Amino acid sequence: MTLTRQPENARTRNKATGAAPIRVAADAAGEVPERWRKEVACILITDKEIAIRVAEMSRQIERDFTGRELVVVSLLTGTVMFLADLIRNLSLPLRLDFMGVSSYGAGTESGELVFTKELRISVRGRDVLLVDDILDTGRTMSRVLAKLKALKPRRIRTCVLLNKAARRAEPVEADYVGFDIPDFFVVGYGLDFAERYRNLPFVGVLHPQVYAQGKKKKVEF
């Protein structure tokens, strides 16, 4: 299977979040770097597109939080690259903390949620920006939001790089969304498959045989 991206149509941006739509059409060649061609079927979002959109998101957040001091709460581990790029563009006073949430299993389906790291900074009475890599079924986001709300922050806004609306199982949406993407399991720019591919500078889709191997827990490269 080969996939390719279709160019963004600015007119179809999400009105509420400003998210750029990403669509893929089957059956055309991608521009995947030679090094990754055996594993990556196509690039869904290039590093340049990510950089432009993340800078836009930072400006949007900056406007909404002018005059406030933020506590950025970022979920480990998939947010690493997104978070670094997002906050370096934020000219606001902020403090940064991490929460560890893990859904066990090496596959592409999320399993049971386990908190692996708790907050160290108090968010009571604070403005909180919750950052995650991708909003998929929404289970992670709703669990984390419930936990944060119990800590009585002044307000919470949510920010994700990617949104897969088609997969939603919980009634939760993000306030800031980088890209609305179709129902593909994606990797790169922090996102993993079985803890791999976080270092890709783009967001891409793996060849189906890679996922199939991962499920059988026989990933060897």
Site residues (vs Mg ion, CB under 5 A):
78
Q: Smallest distance, Å, CB 183 to ligand IMP?
A: 9
Which amino acid would we find at residue 69? E
* Binding partner of 139, given ligand IMP, Mg ion, none, CB within 5-8 angstroms per partner class: ligand IMP
Q: Give catalytic status of residue 136 as yes or no.
A: yes
Q: Which is nearer to ligand IMP, 105 or 125 (CB)?
A: 105
Q: Which is nearer to ligand IMP, 25 or 104 (CB)?
A: 104
With contact defined as beta carbons under 8 Å apart, do 60 and 86 qualify? no
* Binding partner of 49, given ligand IMP, Mg ion, none, CB within 5-8 angstroms per partner class: none
* Binding partner of 211, given ligand IMP, Mg ion, none, CB within 5-8 angstroms per partner class: none
Q: Smallest distance, Å, CB 133 to Mg ion?
A: 5
Q: Which is nearer to ligand IMP, 51 or 166 (CB)?
A: 166
CB-facing half-sphere around the CA of 44: CA atoms within 13 A: 26
Q: Taking the CB of residue 21, how many other CB atoms lie within 10 A of it?
A: 16
CA distance 54 to 83: 9
Q: Environment class of residue 120 by beta-carbon count within 10 Å: exposed (0-12), middle (13-18) or buried (19+)?
A: exposed
Give the residue among 50, 4, 1 at the shortest CA–CA distance from 182.
4
Q: Smallest distance, Å, CB 67 to ligand IMP?
A: 30
Give the residue among 19, 129, 125 at the shortest CA–CA distance from 65.
129
CA distance 156 to 123: 10
Q: Which is nearer to Mg ion, 30 or 78 (CB)?
A: 78
* Binding partner of 131, given ligand IMP, Mg ion, none, CB within 5-8 angstroms per partner class: none
Which residue among 136, 175, 183, 192 is the active-site one?
136
Q: Environment class of residue 57 by beta-carbon count within 10 Å: exposed (0-12), middle (13-18) or buried (19+)?
A: buried
* Binding partner of 126, given Mg ion, ligand IMP, none, CB within 5-8 angstroms per partner class: none
Q: Smallest distance, Å, CB 78 to Mg ion?
A: 4
Q: Which is nearer to Mg ion, 78 or 178 (CB)?
A: 78
Under the rule (CB under 6 A), what is the footprint of ligand IMP?
A: 78, 110, 132-141, 185-187, 191
Q: Smallest distance, Å, CB 34 to Mg ion?
A: 29
CB-nearest residue to Mg ion = 78
Strand order in the sheet with 203-206: 40-45, 203-206, 186-187
Which amino acid would we find at residue 163? N
Catalytic residues, which ones? 136
